[in-house]
Structure 1
């Protein structure tokens, strides 16, 4: 089977949101959204080379500056950050709630000369499947937005907190939903979704749902339902979970240096003092 055949959506990949797609606001829906056909196309959206160039050493430098080595990537996706960190010398465990994503991540790791330690796990019961404590947890790619229920968000952060060593850190990112909700959607596509042949934009946004459509060069399209997390709300959740010294970056810059970033990155410390 050639690459073109592999990326064609199969009939079983057809999405079903019922008669009212914007009424679907469920945490568990993401599992069925990441069907094989979409996962095979995901790297067209990411564009690994462009993303590596745009991010530079941001996450590597944040982790090394704090002396962290054992890292749990809880939103491994197709493996981009797990691979980057492994190649930089970190001890990485890669987890995701989508088995399709993990399979693709493992294959991508092999192509980049590394072997990923993959674990299929739901964040809400993370410590049932993940054993041991980590210096750092990363939750990237706007992944936390898949949790629609506040109880799920709080439970997931509690699980992250419990999986960290006493001086561990959590690095978690999100789209700038404040900008989308308050001013409408615009994106430089400079940092995260770098694939220049893929269109990613919302088809519906309100305070409880951001429904994005992804359109690919072959004419296919796919949708993801996400909860639009506001920045201060997210920081409040982190504080409520016990995290301290929360620093937020805008597109990898100090917040004051980027007026309207596409993404926020929160670096939160687990500190008993």
Structure 2
């Protein structure tokens, strides 16, 4: 799945590119190398605080699958906090960068290259928790792919496991209320990440860097209520949604929503 080319290929009509598997061509080496510049690890760690660590520790979760590891930010934060972490991504470029980032911090990541739709074929065992962060779930354009991936997550969890999954606030983007403070997720200095085209089936984002480099990602704009329904449809019994890590929020304010879905809440 590695694409070592220097130019992203969206074909002659970029906004017609709406296939799940295309993300593998989007995360080319040059873009992956700049991903940490986009995130700014220190700023992101400060903005998130202990949000994910506290959610996991409050529920006594120890064994965690980071299903959309990217360059390894959350895997490394959780390892440093004492969790047993398996680091997964569908992009070989991202996974290589994550391992390198861990090694630089004297950590050895347990990495697995896997597609969510066939997760349990490549990742074995049951987990206390699965995290799927960084707006990654929106790379799935086909509803069947989304349901299949969530079913795979569900199957990989222990009976009392939880799934933590996030997404951009696509409701505000689709409804014309988009504005981003870049306070929480994409904290990089002078890096611009904004929608270039939006319709009900596509959110095409443009990422511009200070050195003039420009990259794009084509993603499916998931509405919050739709994501919550998918989670309950596949079997999760309880879903709690946070807006930019807060329990209370105005619907159009958050940049991101974080859903915490419990597999078998209050029953064994």
**What TM-score, normalized to structure 1?**
0.94
Q: What residue in structure 2 maps to residue 210 of structure 1?
A: 203
- The runs of 4+ residues in structure 1 deviating greater than 4 Å are none
From 147, 150, 155, the equivalent of 1:162 is 155
> What's the secondary structure of 1:196's corresponding residue?
coil
From 43, 56, 59, the equivalent of 1:50 is 43
Residues 90, 11 of structure 1: alpha-carbon distance in 2 compared, 3 angstrom cutoff: closer
RMSD: 1.4
From 58, 61, 72, the equivalent of 1:65 is 58
- Count residues with an aligned counterpart: 264
> What's the secondary structure of 2:38's corresponding residue?
helix
Residues 15-59 of structure 1, C-alpha deviation per residue, up to 9 Å, x if partnerless?
222221101100000001001110000000000000000000000
Please tell me whether residue 242 in structure 1 is matched to residue 235 in structure 2. Answer: yes
User: In 1, distance between residues paired with 2:223 and 2:207?
Assistant: 22
User: In 1, distance between residues paired with 2:161 and 2:4?
Assistant: 44
Please tell me whether residue 142 in structure 1 is matched to residue 165 in structure 2. Answer: no
User: What is the CA-CA distance between 1:120 and the residue it aligns to?
Assistant: 0.1
Q: What residue in structure 1 maps to residue 214 of structure 2?
A: 221
The 5 Å alignment of 1:39-188 reads 39-188=32-181
Q: What residue in structure 1 maps to residue 28 of structure 2?
A: 35
User: What is the CA-CA distance between 1:239 and the residue it aligns to?
Assistant: 0.2
User: In 2, distance between residues paired with 1:17 and 1:142?
Assistant: 20
User: In 1, distance between residues paired with 2:249 and 2:110?
Assistant: 38
User: In 1, distance between residues paired with 2:140 and 2:211?
Assistant: 30
**What TM-score, normalized to structure 2?**
0.96
User: What is the CA-CA distance between 1:255 and the residue it aligns to?
Assistant: 3.0
User: What is the CA-CA distance between 1:11 and the residue it aligns to?
Assistant: 8.9
Residues 167-211 of structure 1, C-alpha deviation per residue, up to 9 Å, x if partnerless?
000000000000010124210100000002211111100010000
Structure 1 window deviating more from structure 2 (11-20 vs 219-228): it is: 11-20
User: What is the CA-CA distance between 1:114 and the residue it aligns to?
Assistant: 1.0
User: In 1, distance between residues paired with 2:216 and 2:80?
Assistant: 32
1:251–1:258 Cα contact (<8 Å) kept: no
Residues 56-84 of structure 1, C-alpha deviation per residue, up to 9 Å, x if partnerless?
00000000000000000000000000000
User: What is the CA-CA distance between 1:256 and the residue it aligns to?
Assistant: 3.7
